[in-house]
Amino acid sequence: MSNRAPGHDNDDTTAREDRDMQDTTTIGVIGTGLMGAPMARRLAEAGYAVRAWNRSNDKARALTAHGIDIADSPRDAAGADIVVVMLSSGPVCDDILLGPEGVIAHMAPHATLVVMSSIPVDTAQRQAQAAEARGIGYLDAPVSGGERGAIDGTLAIMVGGDPATFERHRPLFAPLGRAVHVGPAGSGQLAKLANQSIVANTIATVAEALLLAERGGADPRKVREALMGGFADSTILQVHGERMLDEDFRPGGPAKWQWKDTQTAQALADDLALDLPVSRLVDGLFGDLVANGDGDLDHSALIRELRRRNGERPS
């Protein structure tokens, strides 16, 4: 009689299928910046054959030390079984992916395009239609977790697209983080906008709370410590609250990209005739932060904008 627990054979079969997929599947990675580079490394370390392209060639070249081939162009990376895109915006993605010289036009039928950039919902839907017209699978799979999550493989991955396509590609997402299918094409981007609204609004609230404690005469570090574990606790309070107190604004998630996402969320809310007053206010705060020259700082630097508004000169 076997001593294996129920389901053990199924677990072994799934693991074996995952290894088989890694041994035979080629991946093209387009965009190897702050997030794309560690994601490409993790895919290579998981056993995939990875070929990467980046507009700034030096960033891509650094990946050769991890066994990653460097593509000369996006089209050169498009010949893979799966093409993963991690570019900065919807217009940049469209420029690379669409049209007669775009990546989609040069992908093989039955390949899959996985766009992990944060782009507008309707942009993802148009890309999905263009891919479907050529018999190519499409998943929009934006992520949350920043550079540290990409390095550690702990990203939250929100996936839109055909459910069967998602299930086939679970092994692809496993080295990168936790993937959840949330609906049809474009739904991943919708979930990311919800995520970014929570992140942006919470950063603003934590910054205001720390300023209130400081101006009122309490030790803001001790106030943060006292709040941790209670209802006001959050990853933002723990991680970005500490960044604010230390004035450590080296970018894990640049403020200018946070603002891009809050603008996208506001545009969608307007299209849906939704009045979201808190999100609108926070979008304006991030816009002012960028206008005042802090766009390349981490998004936790929003506290600098609040200091300006209260007559303080940020250090």
Residues 23-35 have pLDDT tens digits of 579 999 999 999 9
Whether residues 136 and 209 share a domain: the answer is no
- Give the domain-ending residue among 124, 156, 183: 183
Residues contacting 261, CB < 8 A, separation 6+? 118, 192, 193, 196, 200
Query: Which segments in the chain show pLDDT lower than 50?
Result: 1-6
Whether residues 128 and 270 share a domain: the answer is no
Domain containing residue 283: CATH number:
1.10.1040.10
- Give the domain-ending residue among 155, 183, 211: 183
Q: What pLDDT, on a 0 to 100 scale, did the predictor assign at position 7?
A: 53
DSSP line for 138-193 = EEE--EESHHHHHHHT-EEEEEEE-HHHHHHTHHHHTTTEEEEEEESTTHHHHHHH
Whether residues 142 and 81 share a domain: the answer is yes
Q: What's the structural domain count of the chain?
A: 2
- pTM here is 0.84
Whether residues 130 and 241 share a domain: the answer is no
Whether residues 242 and 279 share a domain: the answer is yes
Whether residues 167 and 211 share a domain: the answer is no
17: enclosing H helix or E strand: helix 8-24
C-beta of residue 172 within 8 angstroms of C-beta of residue 165? no
Residue 314 is assigned to a structural domain of this protein = no
Pairwise CA distance, residues 70 & 53, whole Å: 6
Whether residues 163 and 32 share a domain: the answer is yes
C-beta of residue 157 within 8 angstroms of C-beta of residue 126? no
Residue 315 is assigned to a structural domain of this protein = no
Residue 228 is assigned to a structural domain of this protein = yes
Q: What pLDDT, on a 0 to 100 scale, did the predictor assign at position 252?
A: 82
Residue 2 is assigned to a structural domain of this protein = no
Whether residues 34 and 161 share a domain: the answer is yes
Whether residues 159 and 211 share a domain: the answer is no
Residues contacting 173, CB < 8 A, separation 6+? 141, 157, 159, 179
Domain containing residue 100: CATH number:
3.40.50.720
Whether residues 152 and 222 share a domain: the answer is no
Pairwise CA distance, residues 80 & 75, whole Å: 10
Residue 160 is assigned to a structural domain of this protein = yes
Residue 220 is assigned to a structural domain of this protein = yes
Residue 206 is assigned to a structural domain of this protein = yes
Whether residues 127 and 257 share a domain: the answer is no
Pairwise CA distance, residues 27 & 86, whole Å: 13
Whether residues 136 and 218 share a domain: the answer is no
Please name which of 277, 236, 232 lies closest in space to residue 253, comparing C-alpha atoms.
236
Neighbours of 12 (CB within 10 A): 11
Q: What pLDDT, on a 0 to 100 scale, did the predictor assign at position 2?
A: 39
Q: What pLDDT, on a 0 to 100 scale, did the predictor assign at position 5?
A: 47
Catalytic residues: 192
Task: Find the domain containing 285 and state its range.
Answer: 191-309
Give me the residue label for tokens 């919470």.
202
- Give the domain-ending residue among 153, 183, 213: 183
Residue 96 is assigned to a structural domain of this protein = yes
